[in-house]
Amino acid sequence: MDDGFNEFLHVPARLTIVALLAPASWTEFGFLRDAIPTSDSALSKHLSSLAATGYVEVRKDKYVGGRRTLVRLTADGRQAFQGHAAALERIVATARAPQCGEPDG
């Protein structure tokens, strides 16, 4: 397997979460839940796993009328995602490359 390939991030829900977080500073929990789509409990479990590895930071804010949960990638999470995405791109490029000994089609 490619050196940058990250088995932990390759889980579809986790990969989707970090991909959604990559272009943002802070993202609301509800946006992630609706974009994936998944249940609150399933998303919470994935976020807890990602936080335990140091890939995301979770913050709970109180405001007048309620509370909201915000999530962002950490520097380690961003680096891991970029490395994994680059590994996937290399894998795809290898799969698309002409194979030796195959006739042109």
Task: Quote the tokens at residue 9.
Answer: 């991030």
pLDDT exceeding 90 applies to what percent of the chain?
82
Residue 76, sorted as left (phi over 0), alpha (psi -120 to 50) or beta, turns out to be: alpha
> What is the C-alpha separation between 38 and 1, in angstroms, rounded?
29
**Cα→Cα distances 46→33, 49, 104, Å:** 11, 5, 45
- Provide the β-strand partners of residue 27: 71
Domain boundaries in the chain? 12-96
Residues 77, 18 contacting (CB under 8 angstroms): yes
pLDDT tens digits, one per residue of 5-24: 999 999 999 999 999 999 99
* CATH label, 12-96, candidates 1.10.1510.10, 1.10.10.10, 1.10.10.60, 1.25.40.10: 1.10.10.10
Task: Quote the tokens at residue 3.
Answer: 């050196």
Mean pLDDT (the chain) is 93
With bands split at pLDDT 50, 70 and 90, how would you rate the model's confidence at 37?
Answer: confident
> What is the C-alpha separation between 91 and 95, in angstroms, rounded?
6
103 Cβ contact partners less than 8 Å away, ≥ 6 residues apart: none
Whole-number pLDDT of residue 104: 60
pLDDT tens digits, one per residue of 80-102: 999 999 999 999 999 998 887 66
